[in-house]
Amino acid sequence: MSDFYSTTAPVAPREFVVAESADVDAAGAAIVVACLPGNSGQAVLEEAVRESVYRGSRSTPAALHVVSYHSDAAATPGQAERAEADAIGAQLAEAGIEYRVYRAGTEPAEQLLGLIESTGAELVAISVRRRSPMMKLFLGSVAQQLILDAPCPVLTVK
């Protein structure tokens, strides 16, 4: 039983993998990216690529672990989700970045925190959007939980 002060165990992300490059595990550093569909998702990917080159070694940029939030967290990835993952993968491959794309689970903040821990990520890049005070009351914010609980720096992109 958990209470307000307990933490949950990290979510094992392997079952959520939709697409990946061949040498993603060979990259020395890792960055976790929370990607929403649309312009904000594109902006956070572009910033993550810049950070990957900056934080990686001279010959190997940091690997990007991208969680795509275009999912309804169904048991298996749908065709639209696979197409989006392939598009993200193609963009990152063109930039010379190793990657792994995940679909969002039912608890995205916990999934991302588990992914940060399992990859040893140096940075989390997230896209944020404006929410009304009423929506903040009823819905928890993945971005807010990551900013407060992530063990590494968090880069927010609007």
- Give the residue extent of every domain in the chain: 13-157
Position 90 pLDDT exceeds 90: yes
d(CA 64, CA 125): 10
Question: Comparing C-alpha atoms, which of 128, 154, 153, 158 is closest to residue 141?
Answer: 128
27: pLDDT confidence band, cut at 50, 70 and 90?
Answer: confident
Note the pLDDT of residue 122.
94
Note the pLDDT of residue 92.
94
Note the pLDDT of residue 64.
94
Identify which of 23-27, 65-69, 115-119, 140-144 has the greatest average pLDDT. Answer: 115-119
Question: What is the full DSSP assignment across 105-138?
Answer: -SSHHHHHHHHHHHHT-SEEEEE-----HHHHHH
Please give the CATH superfamily to which domain 13-157 belongs: HUPs (3.40.50.620)
Position 124 pLDDT exceeds 50: yes
